[in-house]
Amino acid sequence: MADLSGKTGLVVGVANKRSIAWAIAQALQANGARLAVTYQGERLAENVRELAEGLTDPLLLPLDVTDDGQIAHVFGEIDRVFGGLDFVVHGAAFAPREELSAPFVQTTREGFRLSLDVSAYSLIALARGALPLMEKRGGGSIVTLTYLGSQRVFQNYNVMGVAKAALESCVRYLAADLGPKNIRVNAISAGPIKTLAASGISGFSGILQHYRDRAPLRRTVETAEVAEAALFLLGPAGRAITAEVLMVDGGYHATGM
């Protein structure tokens, strides 16, 4: 689909084989890119190590996106081993479980801070880390993952909706900032998919069924479909696209009554 041979990418947000970021990693690898893949903490290290056995010569690194020291270490290692960077895939998101079931008005200060830090601020931190490495390549492309809960109210999505609104705004500000350096920044707004992160949202199966009933395509989407859209935005076919939120949701976002 795209010739990415000689290109290098960083993929953040792989927890297991169902992760959207993992599907994107596989698509990038299948098109010739060499990847650095991160895992959050030792709990996920083994999972990610096993998955990465399917990649060609990957760089595996620990990364908690709330830790500036770890972010610096990741980009230092990428610079040392790859000598530059062409893509960043940002698929990290987190909100404390209780914030995704209690009434929104009960959102705590700490829950709000942590959710916005992991799910939105981290894009700025990763873009800043990637900047000098992408400049070495004459440009780059960054893709993050968002959800329609940024604009509309979905039961129990709560503070994650606020974090996604901030994330989409970060996409536009980063795109404006980095565009003159030929670095593009986009988001994919994916329809609901049963992943580890999604299992934290109370009533998630009800959301999935609602999409099957109401989306124009009368179905939900698969991680591989999101990955193909990411490949389009990351690769040469997307070279004139930046500051965009691309809906990959079977058309659900257009529905009204």
196 belongs to the binding site for ligand NAP (CB under 6 A):
yes
State the Cα–Cα distance between residues 166 and 119, nearest whole angstrom. 9
Would residue 157 show up in a list of annotated catalytic residues for this protein? Answer: yes
For the chain, report the end-to-end CA distance as a whole number of angstroms: 37
Q: How far is the CB of 212 from ligand NAP (least distance, A)?
A: 14
Which of 39, 147, 211, 252 does the annotation list as catalytic? 147
93 belongs to the binding site for ligand NAP (CB under 6 A):
yes
- Residue in this structure with the two tokens 């609602």, named with its chain if needed: 210
145 belongs to the binding site for ligand NAP (CB under 6 A):
yes
State the Cα–Cα distance between residues 27 and 33, nearest whole angstrom. 9
Q: How far is the CB of 147 from ligand NAP (least distance, A)?
A: 4
Cβ atoms within 10 Å of 64's Cβ, excluding its own: 15
Q: How far is the CB of 38 from ligand NAP (least distance, A)?
A: 7
61 belongs to the binding site for ligand NAP (CB under 6 A):
no
Are residues 5 and 17 in contact, defined by beta-carbon separation less than 8 angstroms?
no
State the Cα–Cα distance between residues 169 and 171, nearest whole angstrom. 5
Q: How far is the CB of 3 from ligand NAP (least distance, A)?
A: 26
40 belongs to the binding site for ligand NAP (CB under 6 A):
yes
State the Cα–Cα distance between residues 222 and 171, nearest whole angstrom. 23
Span interacting with ligand NAP, options 16-24, 126-134, 135-143, 232-240, rule CB under 6 A = 16-24
What does the buried/exposed string (b/e) look like for 172-191 if buried means 16 or more CB atoms within 10 Å of the residue's CB? Answer: bebbeebeeeebbbbbbbbb
Which of 39, 121, 157, 211 does the annotation list as catalytic? 157
247 belongs to the binding site for ligand NAP (CB under 6 A):
no
Binding site for ligand NAP (CB under 6 A): 13-15, 19-21, 40, 44, 63-66, 91-94, 118, 145-147, 190, 192-193, 195-198
> Catalytic residue numbers?
147, 157
